[in-house]
Structure 1
Amino acid sequence: MNSLATNYFHLRNPWTIAWWSASYPGFGHISMGNYVSGFLLFFWEMTVNTKARVNLAILYSFTGRFELAKEVVDNRWLLMYVLVFIFAVWDSYRLAIQFNQLSLLADRHGQTLPPVSMSFMEINTLDRRAPWVAVAWTVVAPGLGHIYTHRIPTGFFLVIWWMAIAYHSHLFEGVQYSALGLWEQAKAAVNPQWLMYLPSIYGFAAYDAYVNTVEYNRLFEKEQDSFFKEKYQDPDFRMPTEEAADMYVTASFEHSLELELAISELEQMGIAPASICAVPMNAPQGNVRMFDTIHRADGLSMFDLPTVLGTILMLFGTMWGFMWTWGPIVWSLIGLFAGGALGFAAKYLLYRVYARKPPPGKLTEVVLIVGCRRAEAETVERVLAGHCALSIGRKE
């Protein structure tokens, strides 16, 4: 962890990573935090694909114009393209398996990260963020969702290249003509060679921003769990049944900085750390939440398949849109939403086979027990309530 980004091991589906490398070489490596390899493969794809006119050949092939596909492609560049393309897919799959093994070892050894990193350039903190907010900013412009989660190298890389591709593809001219219903002008305005880069960039950026946000939330929870176990589980702490204090105040919380602020305020009141016990709670096995949120994430995300299918159908919509009435912009959006809806439906049906219905409302993630004098109990309760306690009780 440094001021510009947090790089980390977490469990990934190797086939999903291989797919993003096939969608656009370099994306699989960037997703895993291999920035140098990923950026080099991205530059290679941009250069060789453009020189070989691979996108145009794909467009003509999938619209049945095979002679044009043969004429437009440059074989001197095409043969070079195939070799590195296969390597990018293979290497990202291999690395995903290796990183999964390292992730398991890190979990078993209980390794955590420091919660804050500062430099003269940036401040990076572990905190909870909403995955769908990251996706929403990505829809506005790929890369903004990564900046929101403080993955700065990927964020600015995607923003800059999205601007360049949008400019060379005449994306916004096509959007303007499509919004006005001028379908033929929209087809004529856009550059298909550059426009066909955009489905992969949008799909990957949304998927990666979502996954990063969920996994950063987990890192925050792990770090806070470790902090509580180290500092606020004193072996001399007496549980309420042992009657070591006049009064015990018990409260339930979600993982948050508010909880740490509440504990620090109690310490300022004069309550010793040995009189405070924080117990992180683990979700029961089998209680699967199908939609990850800022509050809960269990790794069985519904977002991977929708982004993959959305990217594929968006690409086909872009290609076939040149042959159909509404043009490539409208049909690419239709393909995106249709693929996303199909992916969500498939994941929903899959998870319903074994997923239990999640309990409503917010879940207790940390139980805090504070031993205090009878006269301090009301003040302790007020402090806890002021820092977003989900519930509070007391025992004399």
Structure 2
Amino acid sequence: MPHRKFQSSDIRPRYSKGQISVLGINSVYPRIPWNAAWWSAVFPGFGHMFIGKYLHGFVLVIWELVVNNLANLNRGIALSFLGRFEEAKAVLNQDWVLLYVAVYVFSIWDSYRSAVEINKSHVLSEIEDAPITPSDVSFFDIAILDKKHPWAGTVWSLLCPGLGQLYSGSTVVGTFVLAWWIFVCYKAVAVRSWLYSFLGDFNGAAAVVDWQWFLFLPSMYVFAIYQAYASVNENNILFDIEQIRYLRVRAANLAQLDTTDNDNVQIIATFEHSPFVEMVLHDIEKLGVEPAHIIALPLENLDAQPHVIDTLHRVDGSSILDGAMVSGTIFMVLGTIYGFVWYWGPVIWGLIGLVGGFFLGLIIELLLSKKKLRIAANRKNEVVIQVTCSTSVQDQLVSVLKKRKANALAVMPKPKMLA
């Protein structure tokens, strides 16, 4: 969060924090460059989508699907892991493999480089305290920056990749993810293979599936889940940043009046960042309280501890699921490959690899974490509102604060008059 005073409304910031439109929500959220490089190594294009460069990501994902398939690269990788090296060399199309290498390496390098640039841009946008427009309305859609549940996005992507992105407000990204998931599942005969696996016909599942296309699915599935979680999480943080700036601008524009009248009372309440903050300011003004008598300021978080999960209001982007998702991806791919020769088949072993790898990565993250770790982020009082009003509206004001989900409130006692 910025610690300096916001810029004048007459000055246009040179660096943007984010953009909300009917096409989706995007922001210069800082990401670890090595994580972006890892996702690009898993599947070219994922690293760029991970950091918000969606157009580059779409191009590279389509390129991966086309060139990898023409080179029979996935089949060659699977045969190599199974120790059938001569078959692997025979199945590969060398012309397309040689074309594949340069773009694959570029994808990893460029995602790392772009993540570094975005992190710099984030710092500069914080220095300028750049504003964000919290909504966009067009004929086709209404896009509103609002708080959402990160785990709701995760669950929807677990059920079908792409739905979590649509839930987060990323219309174009969600449509793209949903479309290529359906296409790859069709080419891999994945749905029939899943059906046979859950019916116990493991030999039938392994026989009908197309190895080349099926090996795209593990990394696609895990990335869609994690990207949906991260997208909702980042949008929630963007909401906090936008509301903090709004409250600072509001406080600076309103001259605070001297309110020493004995007929007045002061009430202090704390809130989390949410639309209720702005709603309660409007409700208080409707009671007849002057805007200058309402002080609303964000609180700075002094102690940020790592935690495992983010929730709707307990969100700061410091969760440690990155390593768990990386490990889950690796073991899901390995489980899928060896599942072609093991009894339970590629689907069951792929799912076992995903769950086992996820918890293994999470355990490693927990062991490596040097700070005291919490399962979930602490519930924070993020905004403090101080209202000076007439005693005649005190009860109504308290009722409004409770209605708008204040975490706590206090009515300040009047100082005793000295004789």
Question: What is the Cα deviation at residue 239 of structure 1?
Answer: 8.5
Pairing 1:1-396 to 2, within 5 Å after superposition: 1-232=20-251, 236-237=255-256, 246-351=264-369, 353-355=370-372, 362-395=379-412, 396=414
SS in 2 for 1:250: strand
Identity %: 37
Cα 1:342–1:112 shift into 2, 3 Å: farther
SS in 2 for 1:7: strand
Matched-pair contact (CA < 8 Å) for 1:131–1:214: yes
Matched-pair contact (CA < 8 Å) for 1:17–1:96: yes
Question: What is the Cα deviation at residue 300 of structure 1?
Answer: 2.3
Question: What is the Cα deviation at residue 178 of structure 1?
Answer: 0.9
Cα 1:288–1:314 shift into 2, 3 Å: closer
Runs of 5+ unmatched residues, structure 1: none
SS in 2 for 1:278: strand
Under a length normalisation based on structure 2, what TM-score does the superposition of the two structures give? 0.90
Matched-pair contact (CA < 8 Å) for 2:206–2:345: yes
Cα 1:155–1:374 shift into 2, 3 Å: same
Cα 1:174–1:259 shift into 2, 3 Å: same
Alignment-mate amino acid for residue 232 of structure 2: T
Alignment-mate amino acid for residue 12 of structure 1: R
For 1:76 and 1:239, how far apart are their aligned partners in 2?
Answer: 80
For 2:122 and 2:136, how far apart are their aligned partners in 1?
Answer: 22
Alignment-mate amino acid for residue 305 of structure 1: G
For 1:116 and 1:211, how far apart are their aligned partners in 2?
Answer: 20
For 1:332 and 1:227, how far apart are their aligned partners in 2?
Answer: 47
Question: What is the Cα deviation at residue 63 of structure 1?
Answer: 0.6
Matched-pair contact (CA < 8 Å) for 1:52–1:74: yes
Runs of 5+ unmatched residues, structure 2: 1-19, 415-419
1:200-230 C-alpha deviation (Å, 9 max, x unpaired): 1112111211111111111101111111111
SS in 2 for 1:247: strand
Cα 1:37–1:329 shift into 2, 3 Å: same
SS in 2 for 1:12: coil
Q: Which moved more, 1:283-292 or 1:66-75?
A: 283-292
For 2:224 and 2:378, how far apart are their aligned partners in 1?
Answer: 30
For 2:339 and 2:374, how far apart are their aligned partners in 1?
Answer: 41
SS in 2 for 1:367: strand
SS in 1 for 2:99: helix
1:222-278 C-alpha deviation (Å, 9 max, x unpaired): 1111111111456642698x6686101111111111121111111112111101011
For 1:82 and 1:249, how far apart are their aligned partners in 2?
Answer: 65
Question: What is the Cα deviation at residue 33 of structure 1?
Answer: 2.5
Matched-pair contact (CA < 8 Å) for 2:150–2:311: yes
1:348-369 C-alpha deviation (Å, 9 max, x unpaired): 2233x21366899632111111
Matched-pair contact (CA < 8 Å) for 2:309–2:375: no
SS in 1 for 2:329: helix
Question: What is the Cα deviation at residue 32 of structure 1?
Answer: 2.4
For 1:360 and 1:9, how far apart are their aligned partners in 2?
Answer: 22
Cα 1:357–1:96 shift into 2, 3 Å: closer
SS in 1 for 2:241: helix
Alignment-mate amino acid for residue 68 of structure 1: E
Q: Which moved more, 1:34-43 or 1:211-220?
A: 34-43
Question: What is the Cα deviation at residue 44 of structure 1?
Answer: 1.1
Alignment-mate amino acid for residue 64 of structure 1: G
Matched-pair contact (CA < 8 Å) for 2:269–2:409: yes
